[in-house]
Copies of this chain bind each other. A is one copy, B any other.
Amino acid sequence: MAKNKIKNDAITSRDEDFAQWYTDVCRKAELMDYSSVKGFIIYRPYGYALWEMIQAYMDKRFKDEGHENVYMPMLIPSSLLQREKDHVEGFAPECAVVTKGGLETLEEELVIRPTSETLFCEHYAKVVRSYRDLPKLYNQWCSVVRWEKTTRPFLRGSEFLWQEGHTVHATEEEAREETLKMRDIYNETAKELLAIPMLTGRKTEREKFAGAEETYTIEALMHDGKALQSGTSHYFGTGFARAFGMQFLDKDNKMKYMHQTSWGASTRLLGAIIMVHGDDNGLVLPPRVAPTQVVIIPIQQKKEGILDKAYEVETALKAAGIRVKVDASDKSPGWKFSEAEMRGIPVRVEIGPRDLANGQCVVAKRNDGEKITTPLDDQLPEMVKTLLETIHDEMYAKALAHLESHITTVTKMEEIGAVLDEKGGYVKANWCGDEACEVAIKDAYQATSRCIDEHEEANGVCPVCGKKGKHIVYFARAY
């Protein structure tokens, strides 16, 4: 076993300029490209394949819990968007507006969906009559448009891809259960598929979704110490139901308002994968989400038997359910190595003439550069399969250690700024519950409250005002 890592010169190093490193990786790994409209990106094949892997996993989880996919119109009449007061206030400033169609000026302006609550509400009001029709558990995969001033690939765009779940229930209890269940599914997706540990909790009043009674979130920690909100799940109570007349006849023969939830996760998750796991050689993909898990690189591929062996190994790995490719292009092995590294392919298998003579090959791990010489026999597929699981566990453990070492408990105001400037990450503090104190922290240190801890009770005083704490809250600078 030997370690062997060469810095990839094609990109800026993380420590030098993290923002530039991020953009470099997005482009050099060919995840995306810019289009001629600001904030609207092109998802190139490799980036879209990553999103397809996430979609496949989440879609199955959703369906296993009884959800059904639907598709709602892309355009929302502005009168419909205005039906719920908080909601329109939250989204109107970000809307793209269609004013002309088929060469004519429209009578009513239409908004490209920034999110589809209002459409689902209108539909549920129409199709749900009695408790027998409940619950309705719908989900939609689509893109949404929110006009943003500052944009960054995957993290903040004027258009992004996502799923939005919208459910209605007969009781508050059931709807609250759904809200938490979906937050848990997001959390499990992050852990099981993306090898990313999350902080989970509830948003404060100030940070809640426009129109929600309660917003639950999963929050990741990037390599640079900034937080990234990665999925949210909202309990609406009956607020939208009242605004949209969503009533049903209950078992007791009374008309009641439906209890509602919505939950969404987006292509932001690609940003999380990049910024949690990536290194100075490019992407580092967790094996379960990697479109290609293993790349086989033949050395001196023109020599007899080399390419045949490479394809033979490919066939054997494929049969074991591994996503594998041979790179038989006419580039040099070194070029292929750094391309595979840039793309974050978890495992590289090298087969050269000497390997072939010795009946062995070299298996290299992308996550830590470890190289393992191993027999080229029928045990190889099982060995690689186990290795992929090991890599997942190692990546999760590393990210968890980073997260845990970046949660700092503070009791005084000035500590907050010091911690954020020195090491970043999350600052854990008691909070009195007053929005003014939340805003004071934001104004002083550009850190927002990420979530309220659901498990730990307040045990001290608010670092801003000194009053008794009501909740334990995590503050951080965030994307």
Please report A residues at the B interface, Cβ cutoff 8 Å: 33, 35-37, 40-45, 48-49, 51-52, 68-77, 80, 92-103, 109-110, 112, 119, 122-123, 126-127, 138, 142-143, 145, 147-149, 158-159, 161
Contact = CB atoms under 8 A, between A and B. Distances in A.
Contacts of A100: 95-97, 99, 109
Contact of A98 (B44, B98, B161): B98
Contacts of A73: 35, 37, 40-42, 159
A102 B94 contact: yes
Contacts of A161: 71
Contacts of A112: 74, 98, 112
A366 to B, nearest CB: 22
B68 A43 contact: no
B40 A69 contact: no
Contacts of A149: 102
A97 B95 contact: no
A290 to B, nearest CB: 16
A52 B69 contact: yes
A74 B98 CA distance: 13
What is the oligomeric copy number? 2
18 contacts: A33-B123, A33-B126, A36-B80, A40-B74, A42-B73, A42-B119, A48-B71, A49-B69, A52-B69, A74-B159, A75-B96, A92-B103, A93-B103, A95-B101, A96-B100, A96-B101, A98-B99, A102-B148
Contacts of A77: 36-37
Given A33-B126, A44-B70, A101-B158, 9 more contacts: A41-B73, A43-B72, A45-B138, A48-B69, A51-B71, A74-B145, A98-B99, A100-B109, A101-B147
A49 B59 CA distance: 12
A145 B76 CA distance: 13
Contacts of A142: 143
Contacts of A92: 103
Sorted from nearest, which 5 A-B pairs have the closest CB atoms? A102-B147, A40-B73, A45-B68, A43-B71, A97-B100
Contact of A70 (B37, B48, B80, B109): B48
A167 to B, nearest CB: 13
Nearest to A59: B52
A98 B97 contact: yes
Contact of A71 (B36, B75, B127, B143): B143
A443 to B, nearest CB: 24
Counting chain B CB atoms within 10 Å of each CB, which of A43, A45, A143 scores highest? A45
A156 B181 CA distance: 39
A75 B42 CA distance: 11
A100 B159 CA distance: 15
Given A93-B103, A96-B100, A42 B70 contact: yes
A83 to B, nearest CB: 11
Contacts of A99: 97-100
A102 B93 contact: yes
A112 to B, nearest CB: 7
Counting chain B CB atoms within 10 Å of each CB, which of A44, A49, A94 scores highest? A44
Contacts of A43: 70-72
A249 to B, nearest CB: 16
Contacts of A97: 98-101
Nearest to A69: B48
A282 to B, nearest CB: 18
Contacts of A36: 77, 80, 122
